[in-house]
């Protein structure tokens, strides 16, 4: 019984490593779709594009990153001229984030590259198996999130 668990665990690890490498997540200096921005920058820009004026705290939650990490990330993309911070109208301690025209252009390029990459991957999955893949991805995300919650509760 323990051997079966260990084999399954090993197989799971190998599949997850293969997924990380296939997507290029181990190359954080560029997006999996080949854009020359970090994965974190891409996610931040696309979240801000989706919700222009999002607060920095909301972005922190959305990206599932530490406040200090998001603060550094925003400083970096602000320095590049892609985003501006404006004081929040209701909370003077908070900031709202807006894309600049240059940031909007980059976000649009990222969104198009992401869509193209996802279309290419989806095209390789047989139509009859796509729902199974989506359900499996949903299950995987929930398992990861549950594991993170357990880790937080243990500390």
pLDDT tens digits, one per residue of 3-51: 655 667 888 899 999 988 888 888 877 777 777 888 899 999 999 999 9
CATH 1.10.630.10 for domain 31-110+127-154, yes or no, is no
Residue 128, number of CB atoms within 10 A of its CB: 7
Q: Residue 127 — pLDDT band, cuts 50, 70, 90?
A: very high
Which residue did the predictor score with more confidence, 130 or 155? 130
For the chain, the domains span 1-30, 31-110+127-154
Q: Which of 29, 3, 35 is nearest to 117 (CA)?
A: 35
Q: Which of 7, 14, 22 is nearest to 120 (CA)?
A: 22
Tokens of residue 120, six digits:
């290419």
| Prediction pTM value | 0.80
Mean of the per-residue pLDDT values of the chain: 88
């Amino acid at each position: 019984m323990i051997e079966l668990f260990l084999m399954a665990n090993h197989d799971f690890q190998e599949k997850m490593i293969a997924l990380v490498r296939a997507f290029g997540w181990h190359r954080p200096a560029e997006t999996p779709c080949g854009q020359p921005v970090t994965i974190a920058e891409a996610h931040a820009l696309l979240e801000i594009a989706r919700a222009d004026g999002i607060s920095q705290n909301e972005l922190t939650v959305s990206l599932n990153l530490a406040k200090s990490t998001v603060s550094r990330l925003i400083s970096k993309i602000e320095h590049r001229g892609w985003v501006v911070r404006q004081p929040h109208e209701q909370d003077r301690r908070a900031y709202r984030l807006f894309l600049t025209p240059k940031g909007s252009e980059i976000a649009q390029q990222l969104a198009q590259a992401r869509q193209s990459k996802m279309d290419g991957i989806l095209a390789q999955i047989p139509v009859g198996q796509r729902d199974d893949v989506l359900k499996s991805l949903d299950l995987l995300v929930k398992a990861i999130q549950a594991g993170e919650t357990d880790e937080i509760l243990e500390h």
